[in-house]
């Protein structure tokens, strides 16, 4: 009996060591997969950041991504990484030289514009400020180029107005015309628009190469600006469509992830069942050892128990394979979600940058009505698809007409700017604010629960009421009224606008400085 006990004890120790070895191997395998995922993520980000800069670099990055998908030793990819590092270093030098060339061209073009006669003082100050602001990056250089083109547009408009009785050729000498022609050609060459806008830009460039009279040159410059704006709008709409697709992919990944969680729970239950059966067999063995002094008479039962152990071992191995496959699927989903999230954030930032340039209210520096209509329609489509909570609120400044009448429109404009900035600071990054009318603002708050939206709107109302205004040596207290509602049922943007207006009227009729919901 003591021999059997020793055997059972040794088997138990060996089983524990086997389990520990399996856990160690699994940890090492998970760590290796995590490192591969991190490397893949780095290569993906590098590909996005460097895309289009150098054809050879794009090819090498694509090949490296393909290699990472193969089950190979990572150390064998070090030579490829060294090649990519050399290409990136070379591209950095090229970018630095290109930035310097652009900086020189901006300075040269600005100096040419400064020599144009008849420009107003404000435009000259804007031009001087632009030239004094040195570029710190290629992106900053592009922004300065856009600003310079805008100054050229303003100059051309002013010159066209001031030349009613003067021939245009007397206002612009041949050197300036030549400079403007070259700059327009260079701008068109730098643009990469597809479709009809791209074809029209190429046609304009061909005309510039042949040579055009001064009046036609001005018309072509304005046409180029219009085409750039139209193409930018088209790219923004394409980006919004891309975001909708990415959001759909995220929803699908979330659904499959939930399914994997369910599978993981089922595996956990199966593992628990195996452990219970194993415990039962161990108890049976211990009981048999105590009850049978002659082990030969107990051999048939031991044989059956051994078979059961073998079955349990096979089932356990099958469970381990399922767990391994599940872990790999979850790791793939995690990497996919991370990539999609980064792409979504990148496109969201690009859209925000475009909107801030084209859809800002000139006084309050929040979005205007055009931006509001566009965003409301976009959020409405998302609500139809996902049915997430979508809150819309309308804010009105109480007794704003009296502020204008008592302290002047300058004081009213100052109050509008401060209140708009305060409301914006109280909102989350995903929220949206626009100037709806002269003294009204509309905000859109997607994906927010009842408690948080109520707290947020009350915080806006209370914060504005505490702002310290002072006009004509007098301390002035300004309050706001808020009406809010939610998208429900068959609501459309028009229904929501009407309902928020009704809620706002109720808030103002209730004594002002109030916040009222209408469902």
Q: Residue 112 has which token pair? A: 């040419």
Cβ contact 418:465 at 8 Å:
no
Query: Could you say which DSSP state residue 360 is in?
Result: B
Number of Cβ within 10 Å of residue 402's Cβ equals 10
Contact between 73 and 111 (Cβ < 8 Å): no
Torsion angle in degrees (nearest 10) through CA of 300, 305, 306, 309: 170
Given a contact cutoff of 8 angstroms between Cβ atoms, the answer to whether 392 and 485 are in contact is yes
- Residue ranges and CATH numbers for the domains of the chain are 92-236 (no CATH), 359-517 (3.30.70.270)
348: helix, strand or coil: helix
Quick one: CA dihedral 256, 261, 262, 264, positive or negative? positive
Residue 165 pLDDT? 42
- Residues contacting 57, CB < 8 A, separation 6+: 50, 84, 87, 88, 91
Residue 119 is classified by DSSP as: -
3-state secondary structure of 442: strand
Q: Is the dihedral of CA 248, 252, 258, 264 positive or negative?
A: negative
Coil, strand, or helix at residue 34? helix
Which pair of structure tokens corresponds to residue 478?
């300004």
Question: φ and ψ at 518, to 5 degrees?
Answer: -130, 125
Distance CA 368, CA 361 (A): 5
CA 121/CA 129 separation, integer angstroms: 12
Rounded Cα–Cα distance for residues 486 and 517 (Å): 9
Residues near 384 by beta carbon (within 8 Å), at least 6 away in sequence: none
DSSP letter at 367 equals B
What are the mean pLDDT values of the chain's consecutive 10-residue runs (519 residues total)? Answer: 56 61 58 65 65 68 68 64 71 71 73 72 76 70 75 72 49 64 64 68 73 77 79 71 70 72 73 76 74 69 75 76 76 76 73 64 83 91 91 94 86 92 93 90 93 93 92 90 93 93 92 88
pLDDT at 485: 95
Residues 48, 55 contacting (CB under 8 angstroms): no
Q: What is the pTM of this model?
A: 0.37
Q: Which long-range contacts (CB under 8 A, 24 or more apart) does 68-77 make?
A: 68/36, 68/39, 68/40, 68/43, 74/35, 74/36, 74/39
Structure letter (DSSP) for residue 137: S
Which two structure tokens, joined as six digits, stand for 496?
Answer: 């929501």
Q: Say which residue the tokens 């008849």 belong to.
A: 118
> If you search the block for the tokens 């073998």, which residue do you land on?
310
List the one residue out of 131, 231, 156 whose CA is nearest residue 190.
Answer: 231
Please, which residues bridge with residue 515 across strands?
482
Nearest to 333 by CA among 37, 26, 49: 37
pLDDT of 168 reads 41
Q: With the C-alpha atoms ordered 222, 223, 227, 228, is the resulting torsion angle positive or negative?
A: negative
Report how far residue 169's alpha carbon sits from residue 61's, in angstroms, rounded to the nearest whole number.
53
96-131: burial string, b at 16+ Cβ within 10 Å, e else = eeebeebeebbeebbebbeebeebeeebeeebeebb
In the chain, count of helices (H) and strands (E)? 15, 7
- Tell me what pLDDT residue 164 has: 46
Structure tokens of 128? Answer: 């001087």
Token readout for 20 is: 């520990």
């Amino acid at each position: 009996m003591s021999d059997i006990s020793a055997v059972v004890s040794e088997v138990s120790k060996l089983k524990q060591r086997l389990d520990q070895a399996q856990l160690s191997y699994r940890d090492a395998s998970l760590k290796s997969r995590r490192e591969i995922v991190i490397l893949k993520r780095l290569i993906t980000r590098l590909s996005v950041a460097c895309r289009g800069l150098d054809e050879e670099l794009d090819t090498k990055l694509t090949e490296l991504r393909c290699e990472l998908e193969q089950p190979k030793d990572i150390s064998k990819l070090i030579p490829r990484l060294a090649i990519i590092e050399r290409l990136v270093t070379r591209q950095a030098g090229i970018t630095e030289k290109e930035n310097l060339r652009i900086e020189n061209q901006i300075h040269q073009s600005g100096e040419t514009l400064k020599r144009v006669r008849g420009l107003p003082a404000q435009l000259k100050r804007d031009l001087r400020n632009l030239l004094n602001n040195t570029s710190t990056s290629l992106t900053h250089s592009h922004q300065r180029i856009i600003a310079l083109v805008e100054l050229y547009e303003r100059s051309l408009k002013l010159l066209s107005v001031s030349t009613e009785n003067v021939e245009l050729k007397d206002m612009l000498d041949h050197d300036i015309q030549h400079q403007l022609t070259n700059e327009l050609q260079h701008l068109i060459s730098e643009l990469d628009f597809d479709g009809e806008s791209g074809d029209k830009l190429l046609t304009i460039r061909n005309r510039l190469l042949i040579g055009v009279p001064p009046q036609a040159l001005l018309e072509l410059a304005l046409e180029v600006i219009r085409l750039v704006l139209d193409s930018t709008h088209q790219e923004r709409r394409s980006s919004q469509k891309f975001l909708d697709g990415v959001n759909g992919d995220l929803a699908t990944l979330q659904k499959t992830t939930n399914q994997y969680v369910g599978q993981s729970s089922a595996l956990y239950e199966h593992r628990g069942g195996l452990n219970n059966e194993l415990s039962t067999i161990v108890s049976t063995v211990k009981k048999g050892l105590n009850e049978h002094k002659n082990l030969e008479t107990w051999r048939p039962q031991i044989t059956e128990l051994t078979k059961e152990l073998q079955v349990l071992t096979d089932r356990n191995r099958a469970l381990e394979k399922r767990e391994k496959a599940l872990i790999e699927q979850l790791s793939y989903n995690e990497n996919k979600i991370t990539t999609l999230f980064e792409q979504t954030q990148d496109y969201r930032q690009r859209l925000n940058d475009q909107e801030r340039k084209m859809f800002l209210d000139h006084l309050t520096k929040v979005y205007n009505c055009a931006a509001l209509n566009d965003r409301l329609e976009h959020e409405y489509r998302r609500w139809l698809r996902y049915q997430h909570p979508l809150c819309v609120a309308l804010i009105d400044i109480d007794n704003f007409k009296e502020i204008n009448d008592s302290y002047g429109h300058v004081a009213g404009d100052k109050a509008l700017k401060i209140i708009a900035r305060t409301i914006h600071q109280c909102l989350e990054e995903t929220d949206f604010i626009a100037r709806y009318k002269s003294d009204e603002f509309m905000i859109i708050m997607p994906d927010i629960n009842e408690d948080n939206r109520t707290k947020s709107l009350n915080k806006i109302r209370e914060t504005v009421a505490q702002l310290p205004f002072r006009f004509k040596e007098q301390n002035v207290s300004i309050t706001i009224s808020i009406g809010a509602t939610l998208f429900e049922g068959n609501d459309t943007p028009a229904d929501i606008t009407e309902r928020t207006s009704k809620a706002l009227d109720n808030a103002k009729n209730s004594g002002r400085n109030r916040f009222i919901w209408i469902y």
